[in-house]
Amino acid sequence: MQTKRISLPSKLLLIVLFAGIYMLGYIHGHANLVFDKNLTPKLVHTELKKPTTVDFSIFWDVYNTIDKNYVTEPDKQKMVQGAIAGMVESLDDPFSLYLTKDQSQSFLKDLNGEFEGIGAELAIKSKMLTIMTLLPDSPASKAGLKPNDQIVAIEGKSTLDMSLSSAVDAIRGKRDTKVALTVATPGDIQTRDIIITRAALKAQSVTLTRRDDGVAILRIMQFGDDTSKRAQKYARDLAAQPPKGLILDLRGNPGGLLSSSIDIVSLFVSDKTVVIEKDRKGQKDELKTVGTPILPDTALVVLVDEASASASEIVAGALQDYGRAKLVGVKTYGKGSVQDFINLSDDSTVKLTIAQWLTPKGRAINHEGIVPDVEVKQDEKSDADEQQDKALLLILEDK
Q: Which residues contact 360 (CB under 8 A, 6 or more apart)?
A: 272, 273, 274, 275, 276, 317, 318, 321, 322
Name the strand (E) or helix (H) holding 343: strand 337-343
Give ∠ CA 315-392-140 in degrees, rounded to 5: 65
CA distance 250 to 264: 11
CA distance 29 to 364: 20
**Helix, strand or coil, per DSSP, at residue 398:** coil
What number of other Cβ atoms are within 10 A of residue 384's Cβ?
A: 9
Angle between helical axes of 57-69 and 76-89 (0-180°, round to 10): 140
Does residue 390 have an active-site annotation?
no
Q: What is the DSSP string of 263-307?
A: HHHTTT-SS-EEEEEEETT--EEEEE--S--SSSSS-EEEEE-TT
Active-site entry in 10, 96, 266, 310? 310
| Strand 326-329 relative to strand 374-375, pairing | parallel
Active-site entry in 110, 149, 305, 321? 321
Does residue 104 have an active-site annotation?
no
Terminal-to-terminal C-alpha distance of the chain: 50
Does residue 310 have an active-site annotation?
yes
Active-site entry in 278, 335, 351, 390? 335
Residue closest to 137 by CA, chosen among 220, 185, 204: 204
CA distance 220 to 256: 11
What is the set of active-site residues? 310, 321, 335
